[in-house]
Amino acid sequence: MQNLHKIKQDICDIGRRIYNRQFAAANDGNITVRVSENEVLCTPTLQCKGYLKPDDIALIDMTGKQLSGRKKRSSEALLHLEIYRQREDIKSVVHCHPPHATAFAIAREPIPQCILPEVEVFLGDVPITKYETPGGQNFADTIIPFVHRTNIMILANHGTVSYGETVEQAYWWTEILDSYCRMLMLAKQLGNVSFLSGQKSQELLDLKDQWGYKDPRNTSEYEDCDICANDIFRDSWAESGVERRAFPAPPAVQAPAPAAAAAGNEAALVKAITDEVIRQMQQS
């Protein structure tokens, strides 16, 4: 039998960590833990996550109806419930607004891959959902195209949502992502972002597989994808308004020269060689 009071304490602890890391200003963010097939513990609306007490946590069912609790449940609970419906293995969901990751959400800039080993192992490709007004089922449905292929998403113009087998694990992915986004911004200010090679990135994916972490880039469905090119979710970019603007594609996937330009360069090279041969023949 689960100790609900202990789970509520764990939720409060994660709330403090979110607030102390400045991942949730004022009353931002929400946390849930699924405690049975039809019951979910949920943080209250309009309350700072840094000062939660176990008695503040509400109990809701899988439709969002509040079953108990002296404070009203979060207005964004439907997002969490949709993740639980889609992923039976998930027991906790954390949604907040970590500033560096949310900057990518606002810019709708895809998260570059093949740069930091820890990110390759623990996160992989991170999708950006299309924008919907927060709170309703349409907003909750934006996670459906991605939820089975990742444990963290960026919500366009909003924040992040991450999920796992425990509330601690669900929070980890958010902290890793925001730290990485901050590193990317700092490296960009220094003037260079260096990518790992495809071979070294594959070695990390092999380690990830050995440690029991699944990654779409290691499945037969994506066996021909370019590991470093954001191939997993790139088909969703147009609908979500996602485009590379701040960070270029890895060198291996830089667009080749147009065919006409390539043909013109080749013709110019042939002409230069021919002219030099003729010149030397005329001098002899």
| 239 in any annotated domain | no
Looking at the structure, tell me whether residues 164 and 260 fall in a common domain.
no
Which residue range is the domain that position 176 belongs to?
4-190
281 and 186 fall within a common domain = no
Helices 167-190, 4-20: axis angle to 10 degrees equals 10
What is the Cα–Cα distance from 83 to 86, expressed in whole angstroms? 5
Q: Which has the closest alpha carbon to 183: 172, 173, 194?
A: 194
Smallest CA-to-CA distance from 169 within 60, 81, 89 is with 89
Work out the burial of residue 13: count CB atoms within 10 Å of its CB; fewer than 13 is exposed, 13-18 middle, 19 or more buried.
middle
DSSP label at residue 159: E
Instruction: Tell me how long the chain is.
Output: 284
User: What integer pLDDT is reported at residue 216 of this predicted model?
Assistant: 79
**Which one of 190, 215, 243 terminates a domain?**
190
Strand partners, 153: 161
State residue 282's pLDDT score: 62
Residues 273 and 179 in one domain: no
Of 190, 207, 236, the one marking the end of a domain is 190
* In a shared domain, residues 265 and 126: no
- In a domain? residue 236: no
pLDDT number for residue 275: 62
| 20 shares a domain with 149 | yes
pLDDT of residue 261: 43
Same domain, residue pair 29 and 151: yes
200 in any annotated domain? no
Show the tokens assigned to 271: 């002409």
Asked if residue 202 is part of any domain, the answer here is: no
Q: Quick one: 138 and 33 in the same domain?
A: yes
Give pLDDT tens digits along the chain (284 positions): 689 999 999 999 999 999 999 999 999 999 999 999 999 999 999 999 999 999 999 999 999 999 999 999 999 999 999 999 999 999 999 999 999 999 999 999 999 999 999 999 999 999 999 999 999 999 999 999 999 999 999 999 999 999 999 999 999 999 999 999 999 999 999 999 999 998 898 898 888 888 887 787 878 777 778 889 998 999 999 999 999 999 999 886 444 444 444 444 555 555 555 565 556 556 65
- Alpha-carbon distance of 131 to 105, in angstroms, equals 10
Same domain (yes/no): 59, 139: yes
Instruction: Select from 190, 212, 230 the last residue of a domain.
Output: 190
Q: Would 219 be classed as within a structural domain?
A: no
* Cα 33 from Cα 8, distance rounded (Å): 9
Look at the chain and report how many structural domains it folds into. 2
In the DSSP assignment, the letter for residue 172 is H
Sheet strand arrangement including 30-36: 66-68, 58-61, 39-42, 30-36, 92-96, 159-164, 152-155
Q: Which residue has the tokens 């299309």?
A: 130
Domain assignment present for 110: yes
Both 264 and 157 in one domain: the answer is no
pLDDT at position 257, please? 45
CATH at 118: 3.40.225.10
Q: What is the pLDDT of residue 262?
A: 46
